[in-house]
Chains A and B, each alone.
Chain A
Amino acid sequence: MSASQSLFTSLRIVLVALVFVVPLGAAIGFYLARRTGPFRAVVDALVIVPLVLPPSVVGYLLLVIFGRRGPIGALLDDIGVRLVFSSAGASIAAGAVALPLMAKGAEAAFARVDRALEEVATANGLGARETFRVVTLPLALPGLGVATTLAALRALGEFGATLTFAGYSDRTATAPLEVYFALQEGRDARALALSLALVGASVAAALLLRRWSQR
């Protein structure tokens, strides 16, 4: 497998991960920004767990849940879906470690929206959904962009959970995995090329972040 192929594999896995990480993380962030009480505290604590756990543990826990003998994995196996060694499995691993960044970033984005700007919408007759569409979402959008970028970078750089849960195969050979195995096999030039590509992607994303945060 060529070096550029592993970059495409990474990109595909990250994009698929973002499809569920962005809406789910934004929803959790909105909940965290707007609610108080004991249940919120529990959600708040749970959501950062994948961020602080060693990625190998996250991968192992995913294996317990989504593996062929796991509660969800067994159901999926019945309908012929196997996540281990699949690209979908790699997306789940990348998404699991990226979700906390999306959720906490979205929480900050929604918390920064001035409540008075929403109050004036509802007091003038807009419903909750309209108020969200007209006021809340557009004002939170730059912050959601920042959160999405950070989540995407975290997903792109994911190594430990992917290796533990999805394994190293043609379909799951992401750029970070390739760097590791290239080094193991003594192909240093390949490791260097991929590393430089990842550095480039990170710098590009950092520049994108600057643009968003300056708006």
Chain B
Amino acid sequence: MSAARDLVVDARCTRGALALEANFTAGPGVTVLFGPTASGKTLTLRLVAGVERVERGAIRFGDATFDGDVHGARAFIPPRDRSLGFAPQDGALWPHRTALEHLTPFTDASRAKELLERVGLASHAARKPERLSGGERQRLAFARALSRERAILLLDEPFSALDDAARAAMGAIVTERAKSGVVLFVTHDRAEATRLGEQFVLFDRGKTITRRRLEE
């Protein structure tokens, strides 16, 4: 594993009742974050995204320290400079913009249309989120996260509202992207986790264990 493209998470952060101590290394490929609700998966993703701050420890990617201590000094790289694609749990779609307009801030119109087609939303390009179903919204949030070639893809239960066929199709896109970068994939679904994951980080009340297989 080339350390230059490894994401190293060694971060402590407390939010309400949750005391997170995340400790894992994710290389290129799909790393599945697995565990019960409120065990720290989403917070971990938000720390890597840079929309929450690490309290102790650090998050590093290759030579860069995203957040945390470097030789005694505090480092923080803002989210936009981390080369991320991020699909948060509820999608966080923009109510005032059409499906196509969710992608055009990040990429040109022709590639945006191509992406919508890949996730099966070509005919809904002019629709705003309120006119999309739950599954369509998730696919749009996923497409937005893919709209630039990024080093790290952060997907928080991206396909929970999709049927099996759509899940498999979207999963294939994730697998393809994982050849060229780090993917952190949060899911509750054991079958999906097993199908996509090359490595598993098991969360339990804020603590993490890394496994090569999901079954112990």
Which residues on A are within 8 Å of B, measured CB to CB? 114, 116-117, 119-127, 130, 134-135, 138-139
Q: Does A135 contact B94, Cβ atoms closer than 8 Å? A: yes
B71 at the interface (CB under 8 A from A): no
Residues in A neighbouring B96, C-beta threshold 8 A: 138-139
Q: Does B88 contact A121, Cβ atoms closer than 8 Å? A: no
Contacts A/B (CB < 8 Å), 24 sampled: A116-B88, A116-B90, A116-B92, A117-B92, A119-B51, A119-B88, A120-B92, A122-B50, A123-B49, A123-B50, A123-B51, A123-B80, A124-B84, A124-B85, A124-B144, A124-B145, A125-B106, A126-B80, A126-B106, A127-B80, A138-B96, A138-B97, A139-B95, A139-B96
Main secondary structure of the interface of B (DSSP, over half): loop
Main secondary structure of the interface of A (DSSP, over half): helix
Residues in B neighbouring A130, C-beta threshold 8 A: 105
Contact (A124, B86) CB under 8 Å given A117-B94, A119-B49:
yes
Residues in B neighbouring A124, C-beta threshold 8 A: 84-86, 106, 144-145, 147-148
B62 at the interface (CB under 8 A from A): no
B79 at the interface (CB under 8 A from A): yes
Which of chain B's residues 49-77 have a Cβ closer than 8 Å to chain A? 49-51
Q: Does B51 contact A121, Cβ atoms closer than 8 Å? A: no
B36 at the interface (CB under 8 A from A): no
Q: Taking CB as reference atom, which chain B residue is nearest A119?
A: B51
B150 at the interface (CB under 8 A from A): yes
Q: What CA separation (Å) do A122 and B148 show in the bound complex?
A: 13
Residues in A neighbouring B80, C-beta threshold 8 A: 122-123, 125-127
Q: Taking CB as reference atom, which chain A residue is nearest B95?
A: A139
CB within 8 A of A125: which of B51, B84, B92, B97? B84
For A117, A120, A130, which residue has the most chain B Cβ atoms within 10 angstroms? A120
Which of chain B's residues 67-121 have a Cβ closer than 8 Å to chain A? 78-80, 82-86, 88, 90, 92, 94-97, 105-106
Q: How far is the CB of A124 from chain B (nearest CB, A)?
A: 6
Q: Does B106 contact A119, Cβ atoms closer than 8 Å? A: no
